[in-house]
Structure 1
Amino acid sequence: MSFNIGLSGLYAASKQLDVTGNNIANVATTGFKSSRAEFEDVYSASKLGVGSKTVGNGVRLAAVSQQFGQGDVNNTGNVLDMAIQGQGYFILSDNGSLSYTRAGAFQTNKDNYVVTSDGLRLQGYAADENGKIIKSGLTDLKIDTSALAPKATSLIDQGINLNSSADSIPLAPTGPAFVPTDETTYSKKFSTEIYDSQGNKHTMEQYYRKTDQNTWTMYTLIDGRNPQDPTSTTPLTGTMTFKSDGSINTMTGSVAPDDSFAVVNNVFTVKGWIPSAYNSTTGTWSPNGSAANPDGIRLDMNSTTSYNTETARLSQSQDGYATGILSSLSIDSTGVMFASFSNQQSRAIGQLAIASFANEQGLEQQGGTRWKETYSSGIPGIDTPKTGTLGSISSNSLEESNVNLTQELVELVKAQSNYQANAKTISTQSSIMQTIIQMT
């Protein structure tokens, strides 16, 4: 029996060496989780139990369990390098077969899908054309490098203060006629860049003229032309009156037959504006109908005031933009992938999903620093990062192996000593057997 006990000890020490050696070999493997050899003693027993004087039969390997503790997270400078801070696994798809990993070294393939080095696709949630994340099911994450389509300007929201103490410039015939090139015929000018449906940039010019106490007239041109008639330089005209506290009182527009400059709730609307197109050959202006915005541009003037301070535009925003080319990508802590474009626009193009398991020890190792779901692990709980107990995403970073090299070297010495000691047990038993044989 002593031989069998010693042999079991040699086998156990050998497995301990194997596990320790594998940990040391993977000390630089991204996302690797160290393993630990666990042993249990062996006794011969009947249904009635083990006798009080029973000698053990040695040792056997009970399990090789992985240690899923967090590894160090180091910066790499590559935006598609990602680490999970906390609980969770990246989800990978191999033609629909899912696996899970902590190794976040990703790249793009020829079709712009986010993949591992061996081509498995990262899973997450897609975004619609407006950047809204759609959580209807997992999909292959893809970085769309196509140009961002232009958007015609439909709303200009601006906060302007018109100086209540400014000098009045009466309207004709008692005052001078409005002339855009003559600064004495208006109090202040503001220019705004706007865009048509083809992404062409135009300039909307607004001239403000104080015509009476608490009364201002606004003249509007686009590219120096009437938005409805590019052959004319006559501006669209609107009138604003203010209350004694400086807030807007009334707004009226010069209403054309098609209501081209209507006012609703202190919002001027240049309906169906058509940007000017200049033909250098003929020297004429003509409507650029193919790029027109049929819904018009709304000029929201609700933030306009008339206080006793200089006339100035305090804030402004407009919702149009030209065609944009993808210029950069960023990933936030919740796994949302943001694309920034050359036209100063940005939008979400997808969001990572990560998974957690009730029993991580039940996961089946697949190699390549990946695991598979099993009955013992339970089904994965899948959601976005930072949801519930799920960890956060660190972009430009990778999680290192959680192997403690110093500890593994100590374990190596211990395994070697165990192996030598068990070998000595067999050697001693052999000597005893030889002595007995010589006595006979």
Structure 2
Amino acid sequence: MSFTIAIRGLNAVSAQLNTISNNIANADTVGYKSGRENFSALYVNGAGNGVLDQGTQQSLGTNGSIVSGASSLDLAISGKGFFVLQDTSGGQKFSRAGYVQVDKDGFLVNNTGLKYEGYPSGTSTGAVGPIQIPQTQDTATLSGVNLDEKGTVQATYTNGDTVNVGQVALASFANMDQLKPEDGTLWRATESSGAAQFGIAQTGILGSLHNGSLESSNVDLTSELVNLMSAQRNYQANTKVISTDSSMFTALFQAI
């Protein structure tokens, strides 16, 4: 039995080491949320039978620090909101990494080309959709784009006119811990998380926006290194149990 318990322990610690390593590797990734491995005790017929890995849980409720972005269009959220992004198939994804740029068709997109969704100018309720900035107005052409701290998208044209063309939407969830990770900075809604509730910055729990800024990862490197050393000791302890079991069985078979 001790051999089986040790094998389960090794599998659990291996998963923990992978999670810790992923956290450390993404310490400088904008919008990344650290994860931790959850464990529970396993019992068989009332007797302890090792540990069971319950999977990784990301710390979605903990904000990272606000840092300066490379672009004046970049946005960071202070609060529990998520940016709403549309993928190439029309599905919605959610992110905290607020890289913002304008593509060749005038759509507001992130650094991987996913389109930001929001509300048309003058509305802040109802359905959200991709934000597209008109490239011309009358005989004037687009000369600049600005985002304010409420997520309002302002387009400036060569005739000097400035027009509000939309407002970036934010989403919240009844149980955001149940969002399904697509990668370290992108999630999708699940039945357990509940459907996205849309709104704008500075309302409800969605939080505030900081323009020209980005949210850094919430990884605490000191804690991760301490956890790494602890996990390594646990790994060594479990391998020692397996080695001892193997030696005992070898001696037993030789005696027989």
Do they fold alike, i.e. is TM over 0.5? yes
* Aligned position for 1:11: 11
Answer whether contact 2:19 2:36 (CA < 8 A) is retained.
Answer: yes
Residue 133 (structure 2) aligns with: 143
Task: Find the aligned partners of 2:151 and 2:15 in 1 and give their Cα distance.
Answer: 40
TM-score (normalizing by structure 1)? 0.55
| Alignment map for 1:429-440 (pairs within 5 Å) | 429-440=245-256
Unaligned runs of 5+ in 2: none
- Preserved CA contact (<8 Å) 2:33 2:184: no
Question: By how many angstroms is 1:77 displaced?
Answer: 4.6
The residue aligned with 1:20 is 20
**1:67 matched to which residue of 2?**
59
Query: How far apart are the structure 2 equivalents of 1:377 and 1:109?
Result: 31
Q: 2:204 aligns with which of 380, 383, 388?
A: 388
Q: How does 1:327-366 map to 2 (within 5 A)?
A: 327-341=143-157, 343-366=159-182
Query: How far does the alpha carbon of each residue in 1:122-149 deviate from its partner, in whole angstroms, 9 at most, with x for none?
Result: 100112xxxx3464421211222313x4
Question: Are the equivalent residues in 1 in contact too, given 2:124–2:199 (CA < 8 A)?
Answer: no
Question: Which residue in 2 is equivalent to 1:87?
Answer: 80
Please give the per-residue CA displacement for 1:340-390, whole angstroms capped at 9, x wherever unaligned. 445554331110111001111211111262111111101111111111111
Q: Is 1:115 aligned to residue 109 of structure 2?
A: yes
Mapped contact 1:141–1:350 kept (Cα < 8 A): yes
Task: Check whether the contact 1:126–1:135 (CA below 8 A) recurs between aligned residues.
Answer: no
Q: Using the TM superposition, give the Cα deviation of residue 79 of structure 1 relative to its aligned residue in structure 2, in angstroms.
A: 2.4
- Work out whether residues 28 and 216 of structure 2, in 8 Å CA contact, stay in contact via their aligned partners in 1: yes
Task: Give the 3 Å change call, closer, same or farther, for CA 338–125 of structure 1 in structure 2.
Answer: same
- The one-letter code of the counterpart of 2:74 is D
Report sequence identity in percent. Answer: 41
Gap runs ≥5 in structure 1: 150-322
**TM-score if structure 2 supplies the norm length?**
0.91
Residues 282-293 of structure 1: pairs in structure 2 closer than 5 A: none
Could you list the per-position Cα deviations for residues 254-304 of structure 1 after superposition, in whole angstroms to 9, with x for gaps in the alignment?
xxxxxxxxxxxxxxxxxxxxxxxxxxxxxxxxxxxxxxxxxxxxxxxxxxx
Distance in 2 between residues matched to 1:121 and 1:79, nearest whole Å: 18
**Is it true that 1:379 corresponds to 2:179 in the alignment?**
no
Aligned partner of 1:96: which letter? G
SS of structure 2 residue aligned to 1:137 = coil
Task: Tell me by how many angstroms 1:89 deviates.
Answer: 0.6
Q: Which moved more, 1:394-403 or 1:329-338?
A: 329-338
Q: Decide which of 231, 234, 247 is 1:418's aligned counterpart.
A: 234
Instruction: Decide which structure has greater helix share.
Output: 2
Q: Shift of the alpha carbon at 1:2?
A: 1.1
Tell me the distance in 2 between the aligned counterparts of 1:423 and 1:77.
Answer: 47
- 2-side partners of 1:401 and 1:84: how far apart? 12
Give the whole-Å Cα distance in 1 for the aligned partners of 2:8 and 2:16: 12
1:389 alignment partner, SS class: coil
Amino acid paired to 2:180:
E
| Distance in 2 (alpha carbons) for counterparts of 1:60 and 1:134 | 46
Higher-Rg member (1/2): 1
Q: Which residue of the partner structure matches residue 39 of structure 2? A: 39
Asked if the contact 1:79–1:329 (Cα under 8 Å) also holds between the matched residues in 2, the reply is no
Q: Deviations over 1:187-222 (max 9, x none)?
A: xxxxxxxxxxxxxxxxxxxxxxxxxxxxxxxxxxxx
CA contact (8 A) 1:124 1:351 kept: yes
SS at match of 2:247: helix
Structure 1 contact 107–114 (Cα < 8 Å) conserved: yes
C-alpha distance in 1 between matches for 2:164 and 2:49:
63
Amino acid corresponding to residue 111 of structure 1 in structure 2: D
Quickly say closer, same or farther: Cα 1:44–1:368, change in 2 above 3 A.
Answer: closer
* Cα deviations by residue, 1:88-120 (Å, 9 ceiling, x for unpaired): 111111242111111111222110101123322
Q: Aligned residue pairs: how many?
A: 254
What is the CA distance between 1:15 and its match in structure 2?
0.8
2:127 alignment partner, SS class: strand
Tell which has more relative contact order, 1 or 2 (C-alpha 8 A, sep 6+): 2
